[in-house]
Chains A and B, each alone.
Chain A
Amino acid sequence: MTQLHLAVALDGAGWHPAAWRSPDARPAELFTAAYWKSLVADAERGKLDFVTIEDTLTIQSADRFAADERTDQVRGRLDATLVAARVAPASASIGLVPVATTTHTEPFHVSKAIATLDYVSSGRAGVQIRGGGLGGEVALFGRRDFPELSWEALQAPEVQQLIAELFDETADFVDVVRRLWDSWEDDAEIRDAATGRFIDRDKLHYIDFHGRWFSVRGPSITPRPPQGQPLVTALGHSTVPYRLAARQADVVFVTPLDAAGGRQILNEVRQETAAAGRGGELRVFADLLVFLDSDKAQLDEWDGAELRSDARIVAGTPAELADTIEELGSIGYDGVRLRPGVLPTDLTAIADRLVPELQRRGLFQPRYDEPTLRGRLGFARPASRYLEGAVR
């Protein structure tokens, strides 16, 4: 059996909307550095490959298309990239992958922020690209005129067209972010006192990107980050995002609900990867929402509804969860990303009970041999795409 990769997705008090009401939850601390440091320390104790940190620009809502007025669920969150940067010097080995929204933001800013996260974490940075863009996000920026969204409007051809375009824009965004990371060759800084030159400017490159939604000249203001290319990840539920991931990402998170669905998704992702000419360069992770030591029934009762999720929900023992993970591994998944139902309860259980079980079964090796996140996932450090390129 091949070794699997293991990640956790961190979000507020956990992925159940009532998680914050659990006895072990720390709801008053969700906006403190100490809380995030302790979560990342738990994950690092289990020697997980990386954590992702959720983010959206809009406030959480039970209504997918608009802010609701509920007071009984977690509302509010901090900027995920800054949370990742804050915990970076407090951790040593684990990968840090914040979510970054692409639609109303600047690729130039996101590129240098993730490059800097790579510097402050000594090569452990990644980013989860989130397209977003519609719904309440539009008014927060007030720069673009998008139609209002609802379940009914979702199937309208013009809305479907717009969503497809937003994915195209996201693809351009990632392309620019990646080009900017490459825009300084690794050895551009020469400090040559004899000629008085700090850099060899022939090793800095204008990216000169011209797209439908934006143009970016470059180079970055930030030198090439330690990993060269920090890890790019994305979550997808259908063909269009799979295609985006196949073209632009290193890791895609998908949401198979059972073994049959898992095979189907994997086939589709592989087709897209082959079509993009990137066979074997995309790691596919299955997302699972897990309850190990928390009481899902009690949480559902508090929330007044049974939990619904895009991802498969597994409530059981570490051995039962390990069975599910083993099955996904046998189908051909490269890893799983676990969304703990309650933090820190279910994260602690992952680190202290699931990991030993997976190790016993030979499914996961809890050790940090490779210093960089890319290295942990079996990726080499890429050369800059501009290395051979024409130089002004």
Chain B
Amino acid sequence: MTKPRKQIILGHYLGGVNHSTVWSDPAAGSQIDFSSFRHAAQTAERGKFDFFFLAEGLVLRERLGRIFDQDVIGRPDTLTVLAALAEVTDHIGLVGTLNSTFNEPYELARQLASLDHLSGGRAGWNVVTSSDAFTGRNFRRGGFLKREDRYVRAQEFLAVVRQLWDSWADDDLVADPQSGHFVRRGDAGSFAFAGQQFDVSGRFTVPRSPQGQPVILQAGVSAEGREFAAGGGPDAIFSPYHRLAEAQPFYRDIQERAKRNGRQPGSVKVLPGGSFVLGDTEADAVERHREIARAQITGRGAQILLETVWNRDLSGYDPDGPLPDVDPDPDAPPVIQGRARIHQDPSATVAEWRAIAEENKYSLRELAIHVFGHVEFVGTPTQVADRLDEFVQNDGSDGFIIGSHLTPTGLDEFVDRVVPLLQERGSLRTEYEGTTLRDNLGLPAPARPGDRVAG
């Protein structure tokens, strides 16, 4: 039996606040003007992408107590930009990262349901949790959440939000002047939830939105994250794996957990990030990647990236010299604040890096480029299209979230040169099939609220 060809899911992540975004390039545009977001979203829609995606950071990063000045910083309010983008696009999903720690479920459910109405069913939410007091300094409650309670809050948060989205039945909105009924029942939108984190009740103001339930995305590879993802949780999960050998077992694990939780096959999509560099020949692409990586990771930038693991001031170490000869200092007050710590065990990471640097005779900066300048897809358009397609058809994932080093025009060449090749192969739509983000992703319709909410 031949396996049917999977349709590749594509999201476009508009970069911004990180070292990957090259602001020194003459073609680099504004990270804040609406025209940048419009261009990127419209380009992705031209390429028949499934969704446009914005990240979020609720505090400016600091190094040694002073605001970071090396990288692009400054970003808009996620939901507000997505609502405006709904005017200048027609089909593409509008997905935002929004924090479940420094928001309240009633307000966020209301905003996302509003976005779903205002976009004709294109809203999506990437649920993230945090617990750091550093971010909390910008909010009423400060650093109120214990680290171990992050998932408890996120799970309850999502449960409340889903209940709110289900609080209006499809037919509660009547708006019939003849009968004089605007709503079918006097208690439309009623809800009540009592848990460890939330004790809330009342009536929700937003009638059931076009998607019923906006699409939920989530990151997380821990066992509890996976179970959350596969159970009552998200419609899509971000995968960190780019090699088939790692990606396939993760993909299978998610599908099996989903099945055990009674979810339909294919109802949890797996999406790794994917950056790309194109060239007319493979050698061109490799050379271009080298140039881009050197623009992304300057000597100063390399010191700072390594500081995220060393947790020491490394500004005195020559970027073109060897790695710092000191050990990391994980127990000291953080040198860098406001960015996620990726490396759990600094000593092991440093040992691994020393081995890589030794083997390849890398300087400090070359090592930083090796580690942080990695690009998943470097090659000719044909090579990149082949590898994207093979990865998906072999169940490494269901698609990719494509980012670029250049805001806002970085995706243009991907849409011009790679997308037509994927379409030729029959792996990417040539026209949108439906109108909602759920339609784009091929997700099943959510259960009707009448089936879920008692009374």
A residues within 8 Å of B by Cβ? 20-22, 25, 27-28, 30-33, 37, 56-59, 67-79, 81-83, 85-90, 104-106, 108-109, 112-113, 115-117, 119-120, 122, 136, 139-143, 184, 189, 191, 193, 196-201, 204, 213-219, 221-223, 302, 392
Q: List residues of chain B with CB within 8 A of the CB of A70.
A: 186
Q: List residues of chain A with CB within 8 A of the CB of B69.
A: 197-201
Checking B38, B77, B206 against A109 with a beta-carbon cut-off of 8 angstroms, the contacting residue is: B77
A140→B200 CA distance, assembly (Å)? 5
Residue pair A73, B104 in contact (C-beta under 8 Å):
no
Residue pair B175, A27 in contact (C-beta under 8 Å):
yes
Smallest CB gap from A20: residue in B: B182
Residue pair B203, A81 in contact (C-beta under 8 Å):
no
Min CB–CB distance B160 → chain A (angstroms): 10
Identify which of B112-120, B324-332, B370-378 touches chain A.
Answer: B112-120
Q: Taking the complex as formed, is B293 at the interface, i.e. its CB lies under 8 A from any CB of chain A?
A: no
Residue pair A57, B300 in contact (C-beta under 8 Å):
no
Q: List residues of chain B with CB within 8 A of the CB of A217.
A: 137-138
Q: List 23 A-B contacts (CB under 8 A).
A: A20-B177, A58-B205, A71-B186, A73-B182, A75-B188, A75-B189, A76-B205, A76-B206, A82-B80, A83-B114, A85-B80, A89-B34, A89-B84, A112-B76, A116-B76, A119-B33, A119-B81, A141-B106, A141-B200, A213-B140, A221-B57, A221-B59, A222-B32
Q: List residues of chain A with CB within 8 A of the CB of B188.
A: 75-76
Min CB–CB distance A146 → chain B (angstroms): 14
Q: List residues of chain B with CB within 8 A of the CB of A140.
A: 106, 200-202
Min CB–CB distance B123 → chain A (angstroms): 10
Q: How many residues of B contact A (CB 8 A)?
A: 77
Having A27-B175, A89-B38, A108-B138, one finds 4 other A-B pairs with CB under 8 Å, namely: A56-B205, A75-B189, A104-B107, A198-B70
Residue pair B86, A71 in contact (C-beta under 8 Å):
no
Residue pair B77, A113 in contact (C-beta under 8 Å):
yes
Given known contacts A82-B80, A116-B77, A184-B74, A204 and B205 CB-to-CB distance under 8 angstroms: no
Q: Taking the complex as formed, is B67 at the interface, i.e. its CB lies under 8 A from any CB of chain A?
A: yes
Residue pair A87, B76 in contact (C-beta under 8 Å):
no
Residue pair B175, A20 in contact (C-beta under 8 Å):
yes
Q: Taking the complex as formed, is B111 at the interface, i.e. its CB lies under 8 A from any CB of chain A?
A: yes
Min CB–CB distance B405 → chain A (angstroms): 14
Q: List residues of chain A with CB within 8 A of the CB of B67.
A: 199, 201, 204, 219
Residue pair B60, A221 in contact (C-beta under 8 Å):
yes
Q: List residues of chain B with CB within 8 A of the CB of A197.
A: 69-70
Q: Taking the complex as formed, is B87 at the interface, i.e. its CB lies under 8 A from any CB of chain A?
A: yes
Residue pair B187, A69 in contact (C-beta under 8 Å):
yes
Residue of A37, A106, A140, A197 with highest tally of chain B CB at under 10 A = A140
Checking B24, B76, B104, B168 against A222 with a beta-carbon cut-off of 8 angstroms, the contacting residue is: B76
Residue pair A67, B73 in contact (C-beta under 8 Å):
no
Min CB–CB distance A371 → chain B (angstroms): 15
Docked complex: B94-115 residues within 8 A CB-CB of A: 102-104, 106-107, 110-111, 113-115
Min CB–CB distance A34 → chain B (angstroms): 9
Residue pair B74, A71 in contact (C-beta under 8 Å):
no
Checking A59, A72, A119, A142 against B200 with a beta-carbon cut-off of 8 angstroms, the contacting residue is: A142
Checking B81, B180, B201 against A120 with a beta-carbon cut-off of 8 angstroms, the contacting residue is: B81
